[in-house]
Amino acid sequence: MFYLKFNNFNKLAKLISYPIKVNFDSGTEYFNSEKEFITHYSKIVTAEMMARVKRQKFSELFVNSYGMHIGYGDIWFAGRCVGKTPGKECDEVTISVTAYNVNHVKSK
């Protein structure tokens, strides 16, 4: 989340698994490409979300079978095994952002 913390939305957009699901107060939207994500970046990555990212400690990440999240489920990300060697597929892992939940991100 280094890129998010320093507002480097171009590099952050490359870490996302598209289509990306974003939950807003008005409903759920899907963004299908880096270009769409960058266009809507300021609507997706709010000041409140950024404050939580900056305060997040690795030891306090929530983890379950869907992946990990920052804050109160603000940003979800997961790892995916991408290795080509049979039986060792998870020797190589790609981590990507899988969802943003803007709808509940309020200052606390």
Q: What is the pLDDT of residues 40-85, one digit of tens each?
A: 998 998 888 888 888 889 899 999 998 999 888 888 999 989 889 9
* Residue 108 within a domain: no
Res 4 pLDDT > 80: no
Residue 50 structure tokens = 């950024």
Model confidence, pTM: 0.74
Domain range for residue 91?
2-101
Total tally of structural domains belonging to the chain:
1
Whole-angstrom distance, CA of residue 74 vs CA of residue 99: 8
User: What's the rounded mean pLDDT across residues 90-96?
Assistant: 89
Q: Are strands 16-24 and 93-101 parallel, antiparallel or unpaired?
A: parallel
Q: Which residues contact 38 (CB under 8 A, 6 or more apart)?
A: 9, 10, 13
Give domain status of residue 52, yes or no: yes
| Distance in angstroms (rounded) separating the CA atoms of residues 7 and 11 | 9
106 found inside a domain: no
Quick one: pLDDT at residue 105? 59
2: pLDDT confidence band, cut at 50, 70 and 90? low
